[in-house]
Chain A
C-alpha cells in the first residue's frame, strides 16, 4: 500500500516537474545554455565542505585564532567563486542534436549529439550525460578533442517515440557545486519492428502486364547456358563445360519480370505483433534482393516499388500500426 502510494506520488512529481521544465526549457534541436536552462546546487561534497567551514569557524573562534578564521573565510570565498566558475564553464556549452539512428526493436539506438562552445573559451572538465530519470549514462571529457557523442538508448517495442529529456551535468572545477540541465531535443525516434525470420515463398504475386512468361535477366534463378560474347563477365563462364572442350559458355540467370509481390498485414489479426515482425523481415529481405513489392495494411496500401526509400517507408508504416500516428 505504501509502495503504491509512493509510486503514485513520484509519478505525479515527475509529471509536474516535466511540465515545469517544458515551460522553462522548451525543446529544440540546438541549445545554448544560459541562466534559464542551467541549474546549480551544492553537491554532497559541497555540503561537507560547508560543514567543514563551520567547524573551522567554531575552532577559530574558540581558540581566538585569526588564521583559522581567515582560512574559513577563504574557503567560503572559494565556494562562492566556484559557483560562478562552474556556471561560467557550463554555460559555454552549445549542444546540438545530430539525429538518432533508426533501429529494430530490441537493439540500442544511438542518439548523436554534437557539443560545441559558443564562446572563445572552451568548456573543460568531465561531463555526465544520461537520459532523464536514468541512473547511469556516459561520461565524456570536454578537454578531449571530441565533439560528437553517441548516447545509446535501448528500445523494447516498435513505434515512433519522442525522445525523453537528456540530463547533462558537470562538477567542474572542484566538485563543490553541480551544474546541470535537462534538455529536450524534440527528436522523434522511430523503432522498426523486430525482425522474425520467415520464408519468402508463398507470397502472393500480382502480375501487372498479364503474362508472367517474360523473364528479365537477373541474378536469381539459373536459366540456361549461352555462347560467350566479348565483354561478358569472366566470373560467369561455365568452367565445367569449358573443361570438357566445348566452346566457352556463359551461365545466364533470370528472374520473373513485371511481377510484384504483395505483402499484407491485417491490423485486426490476433497475433498482430508476430505478423508485423514477419512482414518486416520480408520487407527487408525483398529490398535486399531488389524485388519490387507492395504493402497493404488494412485499408491503406503502399504501391509496389523497390529501393531503400521504399523499404524505410514500409517499415515506418509497419512500426506505427495500432498507434494513432
Chain B
C-alpha cells in the first residue's frame, strides 16, 4: 500500500477504531469519485467517518438530516426575493458543499430522495430553470437504517444504483471499543491533505491498466448474475463500470498501476451487494449474493 494512504488510513483509524477495511473502502470510493452508502444502526460512527474524511481533505462539509417532512428545496436551496435590491436571489442549500452526509436517507419522501440522487448523478442542480453546478469534488455519504421501520421509504433499486458502494461499519471488536473508551490515542494530529492532491489522484486512477484477463473476469461476474436464476435484479452496465472504476482505485491505493483479479474481488461485495436482489427467499441461504457470485467464477480462467 502507498505510504500516503497508509498514513491516511492510520489517521482515520484513530477516530474510527478497528475498521481499517471499511476505511479503505471509503477512501477507494472517494478516489473513484463515487458516492458512498452506509447501512448501519445509529451510533456506529457514520458521522465520525464522514466528518473525519471531510477534515482530512479539507472539504466543505455539511450534514443533512433526512426526515419525512424535508422538502427538496430545504436541501437544494431556493430563490428568494430580496426586497432591498428588488430581485430574486438564489440561496444555496446545504447540498452545495463538497462533502455531504445525508443522514437516514430512507426517512425522506421519495421526492426529496430523488432530488438528492439526481444532484448526485448530474453533479448540478436545476432550480427554476437555472442550472447551478455543484462544487468540484462532490461526495455524498448516505446512511440508512438496515431494518424496515415504519415511516421509511426504502430507496428504489434504480436509485441505489447511483451509490458506488455500500458498506456497513458494524460493532467494533472488544479491543477497539476498549481503546475508544479509554481514549488512549486521540492525540495525534491529522495529516492535512491538499484538495489538489485528491484531484490529482483521481486523475491518475484512469491510468491504471486493466488487462484483458481482468476485463473478462468482470464481464464473467456480471454475466453470471444475469444468467443465474436466483437474481431478480442483475448487475447493470453501470454496475460493471462502477466495478472497474472502484477496482482501479483500489489497485492505485495499493501502489499498482495495473489491475489484478484480487482488486475486483476486494471491492466486489461493496459495489455489487446493494445492486442485487434475490429472486426468491431462500430458506437457508445465509451467504451474501455477491459472495455467491464470487464463488462461482474462477478469476484465473481466461
A: which residues have CB within 8 A of B?
Answer: 96, 98-99, 101-103, 114, 118, 145-148, 150, 233-235, 312
User: Any chain A CB within 8 A of the CB of B230?
Assistant: yes
Contact status B150-A233, CB under 8 Å: yes
User: Any chain A CB within 8 A of the CB of B296?
Assistant: yes
Contact status A102-B224, CB under 8 Å: no
Given A114-B296, A233-B150: A102 and B284 interface contact (C-beta under 8 Å):
yes
Given A101-B284, A312-B284: A148 and B151 interface contact (C-beta under 8 Å):
no
User: Any chain A CB within 8 A of the CB of B82?
Assistant: no
Shortest B132–chain A CB gap in Å is 33
Contact status A147-B150, CB under 8 Å: no
Shortest A98–chain B CB gap in Å is 7
Main SS of the interface on chain A? Answer: mixed
A98–B282 alpha-carbon span in the complex (Å): 13
Q: B212-237 vs A: 1/0 string, CB under 8 Å?
A: 00000000000010011110000000
Q: Which of B163-215 contact A (CB under 8 A)?
A: none
Contact of B150 among A99, A114, A235 (CB under 8 A): A235
Shortest B117–chain A CB gap in Å is 25
Contacts of B150 in A (CB 8 A): 233-235
Shortest B221–chain A CB gap in Å is 13
Contact status A98-B229, CB under 8 Å: no
Contacts of A99 in B (CB 8 A): 285
Shortest A293–chain B CB gap in Å is 19
Q: How many residue pairs at the A-B interface have CB separations less than 8 Å?
A: 27
| Range, interface on chain B | 10 to 19
Contacts of B228 in A (CB 8 A): 147-148
Chain B, residue nearest A149 (CB): B229
Task: Give me the 9 closest cross-chain CB pairs, A-B, nearest first.
Answer: A233-B150, A102-B284, A148-B228, A145-B227, A148-B229, A233-B151, A147-B227, A102-B283, A114-B296
Pairs across A and B, CB under 8 Å, 5 listed: A101-B283, A145-B227, A147-B224, A233-B151, A234-B150
Pick the most buried of B229, B283, B284, B301: most chain A CB atoms within 10 A of its CB.
B284
Given A101-B284, A102-B283: A150 and B229 interface contact (C-beta under 8 Å):
yes
Contact status B283-A146, CB under 8 Å: no
Shortest A222–chain B CB gap in Å is 17
Q: B260-302 vs A: 1/0 string, CB under 8 Å?
A: 0000000000000000000000111100000000001000010
Shortest B281–chain A CB gap in Å is 11
Beyond A101-B284, A146-B227, A150-B229, 18 additional contacts (C-beta under 8 Å) are A96-B296, A98-B296, A99-B285, A101-B283, A102-B283, A102-B284, A103-B283, A114-B296, A147-B224, A147-B228, A148-B227, A148-B228, A148-B229, A148-B230, A233-B150, A234-B151, A235-B150, A312-B284
Chain A, residue nearest B151 (CB): A233
Contacts of A114 in B (CB 8 A): 296
Chain B, residue nearest A316 (CB): B284
Shortest B26–chain A CB gap in Å is 30
Shortest A58–chain B CB gap in Å is 51
Shortest A313–chain B CB gap in Å is 11
Contacts of A233 in B (CB 8 A): 150-151
Contacts of B229 in A (CB 8 A): 148, 150
Shortest A204–chain B CB gap in Å is 28
Shortest A254–chain B CB gap in Å is 17
A102–B227 alpha-carbon span in the complex (Å): 23
Contacts of B301 in A (CB 8 A): 118
Shortest A105–chain B CB gap in Å is 14
Chain B, residue nearest A231 (CB): B151
A99–B301 alpha-carbon span in the complex (Å): 23
A234–B149 alpha-carbon span in the complex (Å): 12
A99–B58 alpha-carbon span in the complex (Å): 50
